[in-house]
Structure 1
């Protein structure tokens, strides 16, 4: 831009108008580039095509400049480029330019952090917010080109004070989005809504900033006279400040002060720059500009005096409100260098049941029992297949579930844990619960605050196992943890025969996206396979080279280790054979379903789109692989399984695949709970599915038993879990006794009534069942379930339904 100002066509025009117009149009061009790149080019042509397009546009601009350069006569007074600071360097103005750049780019980081409490953390959201900022600057530049003043120095402090006031007022009057009432209440993904919110918060100060730079350049030009030197120096100082601002905001202000105090400090910074830019003669009240400056100063002080300093608590509460619907309460709040983290805890019977880590406006991770199933299998699945493993690498710590699973293996000698967020490690000691402890103090564990990809590229170590707890896939930046190039980095850091496991949550993806990730994974790991419990949280597994069948002695030792065996039981893996029931597909099936699919790549990141997943399609996709007969056939015919799967793990497989299918259907779409329970009780010894049918789990049960032990009588609120526990033990008399206690209280749940009748029959007390049914006959509402139950009890136990 400084070179452009020396063009003969522009040289004879008024300097302030020229620099402002050039700056405005240049920035509006940046808006077009950002929107075109994000909205079309990257998606259509990938990063190489987008870069090539940018290069072609730059060449086109150079060609246009060359054509014009030949048609316009050169200035006769031009003496070539020369650098001169004049008689006196305008250091004060240059410092104002430096400070303005620092404040505005720091504000941009602070604004974006605040907005993430309401909008999705996606590349589209970031691009939209960036476009609003750039549009404000560009339009401000065009507005500045219309300003005609012989004394721009008097205008400068007025603009800086307006920026200070605008910083505060745009935050105070930020328009809160309408609460939708669902789990994504403030997870806004609509670009028009993001544009509206961004415009209210950022546009006013961005517009003023667009006016500020041309005015500062004009003020400097009054001192230096040379157009190129004045523009170049002012822009240099402004840009150096702009480079420093995000570092100051991200690594100092936000972690130490939080976003609201950082906003206030930025506003105070603009006010300080206004004082610095004032000339001594501006302190009188003889001219309108001096009066206006004084009034703006008074207004700024008044706003600071009446500022709602607790407003930030409302915004934090809004971000976490959707996740408090389960009666979770806030435990800790941390504004870190990268994210705003809020730790919520759900108590049960007066003790912690599970935690949820809310990052910005998104539930990033948690210790819910359902989540623990796949998080712990990230560790246990490769440990079971490679029990001789000595070291492991965990990318992304989350809430520590996978790390905790690793540290339960006494044979593992070392665990490296890498996470980009220091605050995630700081929160590690905040989690407590039944049979859970912070894994980080374990002497075998080493933590690294580092980007996972950089760690893989830079570190020399090779590992037996590499796994991770990555953020949800549609969060900005996570795509780079699912590309073929990332999987190649993981592959290169494995020992020979080392194993990789990685999360594949197909409920968060479209089917095409799932296939693109599977294709990328298989391109790197030729023997890739997929595993899952009874939900859509799947696990990809691959190895460096051919996997060997695990040593029988080490395998028995793995399953005889009490801490691991107990932990596996809590997540529903109660026997070695149940590992077989986790199988979904091997490499041959991956090749079949991904035929013709392009892999997710660093160069084509938009193959993972911002499109909301189709849950029905994901359910049907998963349903096809959980069908018992088809799943068993794929397992038994798989060359991969024949090669590496221990023989002793291949027994009674029909039951385990059937249980997985039944639990999947029940969790995803609902089922006949008593029919499921009957099968589990009479045809298996499994505990987890029995508890699940009763909406309980091993974690709830442990808390309920602890609560009951310190109570004189059976607490009513713990009774459902205690009943479920008795059924899981197959202690039918104990379950009947608990249900009879509930009958004495008056059944609060009609299902308890039906369960008691069923258990009477199962326990050989058909007469009691008939008597109870007859006594309640008038209150029983006839429906398909009652008809089914009477028919089954009659056929199985000779039960006579009430008249």
Structure 2
């Protein structure tokens, strides 16, 4: 970059403008990144790799912009250059709203057309889709600070050092303000679209401040007034004509849909494939789309099935997930020596919470991180027994691990039903440290019930979670929802004390418990026993050599996204059925 002459420095503007430019650049840059990260979780998934990808593409764009500025010989008229860059950034942010609406179909259609069958291919597809959204705006944003530093460098000597330091300080403060306001105010109180338009507005304001009438203009005040009016008109036009986000398509969970099709757990025929086909109002309705402080929560009605998704990944429904949700609430009531109090991690649809309240339990606490999930539970009042109306329930909005650390209470029953074990922010609820924390909050004879899927997990991954659980709880019972030879979910019951099924008949004498179980076609002890797979005696040898999932290695969070697209459920089902056969043989021997 060549030095500027003194007249050029004077033309480039005063100190206040350039420092404002640095601050707003920081705000816009980080605000856009947070907004893009939030919306991209709905399209390319919410794995650790997806988050890393967004950051890497963003930094690549910023560095590219800085490189382009460094290559050019900038000798004068810095304000005009800033004006052009800011207006170009505004246009790119406007176009990003159009790109966001196209991304779900681009991801799914391209993935199916190319018949992707490798992790590298899937990763490349995610990079391509995310790059369409991020690279151009990030490249333009990356040009701003280098131009500010060009201005600062011409002061010379100690003045340059002071101006560079102040510019970076204000840029950093702007970034902090952008991160905080976007995460806690703009997205939760507004929306991702509103956040992107706010960033665009700030770019327009900087462009307006950068404008200076040419020296040859006679009436400079008139030109400035016209520029101010044009700025206001442009901002108003931006908000009026900016495309609305297609929330219905975003709520489909494009990446999850694609992965399930590739893994063979979702049909590509006329049934579930409706998720990636043209949506019709008759069969598909978006009931709720809310961007909360920590996640985007959606509720949909597809083929008269109401489902809840968090960041594009389905977590609950009022049809096929009902046996799992009800039994998570009822199994501890059937097996625990005492059932006076309990704690549930994750509210979800509220079905599990409502199910556990259909009992003589005196107090139940539920810890949920995302407030929007609680609101979504109202769409399941027809199946969840409306738990929020029960005075015995105490809802806590907090992180489960943080709450368990500071809460000294001892529980007879703890039920953990978070989202999938590789999702960032949830993966640490499947580690040895979390299970140990849960065990420390149990009464001496208390039980800890854990939900675990067998789909989208390799056999090594499944064995790793089971081994981690068993390393903390010496006594374990394993149940498979729907029966030992069917179903896609496991329910694990762990305790310090030996476990058995001897209390079931007594507990089935409670009419509330009986009525609740009847909802999922469980009418007696034999139906419950048909779900039984094995205990720690058979489970232990089957887990030899399995890796332990810890806070330090985060094996499941790092490994599973690289395998989720593979057809894994069949191998896991076969392995579980062999365990169930051993369990049945052990029961027969015990009776002899």
Q: Which TM-score tier does this pair reach, normalised by the shorter chain?
A: 0.7 to 0.9
Match of 2:275 in 1: 322
1:596 pairs with 2:545: yes
* Mapped contact 1:473–1:508 kept (Cα < 8 A): no
Given candidates 410, 431, 441, the residue that maps to 1:493 is 441
Match of 1:583 in 2: 532
> Aligned partners of 1:286 and 1:203: how far apart in 2?
41
> Aligned partners of 2:543 and 2:407: how far apart in 1?
33
Match of 2:575 in 1: 621
Q: How does 1:677-688 map to 2 (within 5 A)?
A: none
1:538 pairs with 2:490: yes
Match of 2:19 in 1: 94
Distance 1:575 1:15, change over 3 A: farther
Stretch deviating more after TM superposition (207-216 or 253-262): 253-262
TM-score by length of 1: 0.61
Q: How does 1:217-228 map to 2 (within 5 A)?
A: 217-223=149-155, 225-226=157-158, 227-228=160-161
> Aligned partners of 2:217 and 2:391: how far apart in 1?
69
Given candidates 186, 211, 228, the residue that maps to 1:253 is 186
> Aligned partners of 1:418 and 1:224: how far apart in 2?
58
Match of 1:107 in 2: 32
Deviation at 1:355, TM superposition (A): 2.0
Deviations 1:116-169 (A, max 9, x none): 232121111111121111100111111121122233344223222221221112
Given candidates 556, 581, 585, the residue that maps to 1:633 is 585
Match of 2:268 in 1: none
* Mapped contact 1:386–1:550 kept (Cα < 8 A): no
> Aligned partners of 2:315 and 2:214: how far apart in 1?
56
* Mapped contact 1:182–1:322 kept (Cα < 8 A): no
TM-score by length of 2: 0.82
Query: RCO higher in 1 or 2 (8 Å CA, sep ≥ 6)?
Result: 2
Match of 1:343 in 2: 299
Q: How does 1:451-466 map to 2 (within 5 A)?
A: 451-466=399-414
1:138 pairs with 2:63: yes
> Aligned partners of 2:242 and 2:531: how far apart in 1?
54
> Aligned partners of 2:3 and 2:552: how far apart in 1?
43
Deviations 1:599-656 (A, max 9, x none): 11111113442112512212322332344xx432133557xxxxxxxxxxx99xxxxx
Distance 1:222 1:413, change over 3 A: farther
* Mapped contact 1:154–1:282 kept (Cα < 8 A): no
Match of 1:35 in 2: none
* Mapped contact 1:331–1:345 kept (Cα < 8 A): yes
> Aligned partners of 1:331 and 1:282: how far apart in 2?
58
Match of 2:263 in 1: none
SS at the partner of 2:546? coil
SS at the partner of 2:73? coil
> Aligned partners of 2:112 and 2:580: how far apart in 1?
29
> Aligned partners of 2:542 and 2:549: how far apart in 1?
15
Given candidates 309, 327, 335, the residue that maps to 1:385 is 335
> Aligned partners of 1:283 and 1:587: how far apart in 2?
88
Write 1 or 2 for the structure with the bigger share of helix: 1
* Mapped contact 2:463–2:543 kept (Cα < 8 A): yes
Deviation at 1:587, TM superposition (A): 1.8
Given candidates 194, 203, 209, the residue that maps to 1:276 is 209
Deviation at 1:568, TM superposition (A): 0.9
Deviation at 1:452, TM superposition (A): 1.5
Give unmatched runs, 5+ long, in structure 2.
Answer: 5-12, 255-273
Q: How does 1:314-463 map to 2 (within 5 A)?
A: 315-316=249-250, 319=253, 322=275, 327-345=283-301, 354-368=305-319, 370-410=320-360, 412-433=361-382, 436-463=384-411
Deviation at 1:315, TM superposition (A): 4.1
1:195 pairs with 2:130: no
Deviation at 1:318, TM superposition (A): 5.6
> Aligned partners of 1:184 and 1:487: how far apart in 2?
39
Deviation at 1:558, TM superposition (A): 2.4
> Aligned partners of 2:111 and 2:587: how far apart in 1?
37
Match of 1:773 in 2: none
Give unmatched runs, 5+ long, in structure 1.
Answer: 1-12, 17-87, 349-353, 639-649, 652-803
Deviation at 1:423, TM superposition (A): 0.4
Deviations 1:38-83 (A, max 9, x none): xxxxxxxxxxxxxxxxxxxxxxxxxxxxxxxxxxxxxxxxxxxxxx
Deviation at 1:422, TM superposition (A): 0.3
Given candidates 225, 229, 238, the residue that maps to 2:162 is 229
1:520 pairs with 2:472: no
Distance 1:633 1:308, change over 3 A: same
* Mapped contact 1:356–1:367 kept (Cα < 8 A): yes
Deviation at 1:203, TM superposition (A): 0.9
Deviations 1:283-312 (A, max 9, x none): 95999xx99x97997996697287353343
SS at the partner of 2:408? coil
> Aligned partners of 2:32 and 2:473: how far apart in 1?
44
Distance 1:592 1:547, change over 3 A: closer
> Aligned partners of 2:527 and 2:236: how far apart in 1?
69
Match of 1:49 in 2: none
Distance 1:317 1:520, change over 3 A: closer
> Aligned partners of 2:387 and 2:312: how far apart in 1?
27
Deviation at 1:332, TM superposition (A): 2.3
